[in-house]
A and B are shown apart, each in its own frame.
Chain A
């Protein structure tokens, strides 16, 4: 019996093969997204994992004691116990603790911290000193696996502890060549200063450019040139902006490695981003709004400043926040304009020296000491949390103030 003209394609081996490929491909297109998501997850977990390490330290006479959480609740109480353990009398302790200079020196030389685990048990207050020498710094898994052996091998001057690098005091300590006392305070202040200055410079220029191009610019070659130029500028590697800042601001204007030079450099870097976002926001305002303003007798600038600009605030704000997020994570151009130098003090003004979060992290990664990998990880967690906060803010602004025309 001969078959009909229309064959049952499911019987055709060639068609079966094509269908199989089709099904495989439909699955394959999702794979990269899954890999990307997994990469982000591994990156986050690995960083968090690196913020904890197991240490064996050789302690000095004035350090190395640990106190149970029940004995002391605040760092001051721990200091009191520590002084008592050193054999000081009640009066001496009271005198010591009421003398701000003595306390400042004690805090500079020592670190009082609640450690997750020590050889004496979990959650103990530990007083550690800058003079402690660290014998081992092991990753969490490695350290826990060897915990008992390490504990056995300790002599009386040694201490074993599980050290959490990321805690509140990490944010408040100054930078140091000694990882145990290194902190983010200077970098945090530097980031806040730099971001504020950068935005103060780049928002007026970026938004001004956008208003000119959208509302005023005649359709001529100059306008076209500015537009093309703006787009190309957005594609210039950030390190090239760093070279520009080095030659023009640091050397040419003789600002040196200061916040001002950095802010001018960063402002030029993020200006195109802000400008492009502002142009999109301006474009989304319908012409009927403009015509209505004119019909009420408004001048062009009244129309723009009172009608168009208020309507673009959510769009511009979102763009500015995203540009700020980019600026916060940017390290390369700042390394060129002097953020690399070791800075021990928080900035006092626009002409101060400075360092910022990502540069501090880079310097820690480059330092050849395994514990700086731990402080770098702790710094990265702080940086990512800051960025996460900014992205959440941008998302919220976009959602809450979205204008539907």
Chain B
């Protein structure tokens, strides 16, 4: 042994040798890919949208009653697409919120361990169904049935699309909401039982209010998913942007319009193509806003109980 031993050892200290530093640099670079992706999304969407607004006034975008970029006299009213998105999402939430919250209550308060694993498995199954399959089911199974029940229902309509959407987003509500309910301290429940409350009263008057911020976050998260859901809307809700709140009409959501526009042929740089990106930017801002809001709420509520 000679003196070089100590220098070898020193060079092997974590993060010191050139090789070690290279590895760290490479790993750091990979972690920047996600940041670059976000940056690219923002640059792409907003540069095209900026170009769009150089040609189309903001008032037209916000207040025009129609969205018809490919017509001879094009109109660019995002309201028509927002109305369609709203109908589709609202019908989905009407299904998903009660079913999701009941499932969350079952998972958090009622189900024995092995039963809750099974229920979670079913929810995972629901989450794993490709949305194009849900779309097929809505259009070819549900719509004919609903057309017999609801007079005047169009072949493409937000009702059957929204009903199926409700099941597609149900797992998001049940997962996040049951986590929130489980995080409620046991002592609160025990206190309520000691006062003679029934289990129903404990769940609805103690656990539910205590977990309400997490539950709200779950609903917001599911809303974000619903707004961004594409294939169910494109297949079953339709691709005809009109400003209506009649759920029997064929409508277009922001996402289904994007699909329709992209499967048609629009040269890069044309106003119609820029309009497509302005819809994308609106969709991105809306879902990002929902996601950040949900995260904020979850974080604040974690501080309270941990």
Instruction: Report the minimal beta-carbon distance from A87 to chain B, rounded to whole angstroms.
Output: 44
**Which residue of chain A is the closest to B17 with respect to CB atoms?**
A299
Contacts of A377 in B (CB 8 A): 136
Q: Which residues of B contact A373 (CB under 8 A)?
A: 140
B123 contacts across to A, CB distance below 8 A? 36
Which residues on A sit within 8 Å (CB–CB) of B162?
none
A106 at the interface (CB under 8 A from B): no
Contact string, B136-168, partner A, CB cutoff 8 A, digits 1/0?
110111000000000000000000000000010
> Quick one: which of A240-277 are within 8 Å of B by CB?
240-244, 246-248, 251, 268, 271-272, 275
Q: List the one stretch of B35-43, B63-71, B183-191 in contact with chain A.
A: B35-43
- Count of A residues near B, CB < 8 Å? 85
> Which interface class (under 10, 10 to 19, 20 to 34, 35 or more) fits B?
35 or more
- Chain A, residue nearest B262 (CB): A336
A207 to chain B, nearest CB (A): 8
- CB-CB < 8 A to B135: which residues of A? 362, 365
- Chain A 29-52 interface 0/1 with B at a Cβ cutoff of 8 Å (1 = within): 111110111011011001100100
Give the distance in Å from the alpha carbon of A196 to the alpha carbon of B110 in the complex: 43
A232 contacts B38, CB within 8 Å? yes
Q: Give the distance to chain A from B252, nearest Cβ to Cβ, in Å.
A: 13
Selected contact of B141 from candidates A46, A238, A239, A332, CB within 8 Å: A46
Interface check A340, CB cutoff 8 A: yes
Contact of A30 among B35, B106, B201 (CB under 8 A): B106
- Taking chain B's interface residues, is the majority helix, strand, or loop, or is none over half, making it mixed? helix
Do B200 and A21 touch across chains, with their CB atoms under 8 A apart? yes
Instruction: Judge whether A209 and B126 touch: CB under 8 Å.
Output: no
The binding surface of chain A is classed by DSSP as helix
- Please, how many angstroms separate the alpha-carbon atoms of A37 and B125 in the complex? 9
A149 smallest CB distance to B (angstroms): 23
Q: Could you tell me if B287 and A237 are in contact, using CB atoms closer than 8 angstroms? A: yes
Please give, as numbers and ranges, the residues of chain A lying within 8 Å of B98 by CB-CB distance: 32
| B129 contacts A by Cβ under 8 Å | yes
B residues within 8 A CB of A230?
34
Q: Is A236 in the interface zone, CB < 8 Å from B?
A: yes
Knowing A239-B259, A300-B14, A365-B139, the reply to whether A216 touches B24 (Cβ < 8 A) is yes
The 9 closest A-B pairs by CB, nearest first: A237-B228, A329-B130, A208-B30, A300-B14, A29-B106, A332-B230, A32-B99, A212-B27, A22-B198
15 of the cross-chain contacts (CB-CB < 8 Å) are A32-B99, A233-B34, A235-B291, A237-B227, A237-B228, A240-B283, A244-B37, A244-B44, A246-B262, A251-B268, A330-B130, A331-B230, A331-B231, A362-B135, A391-B128
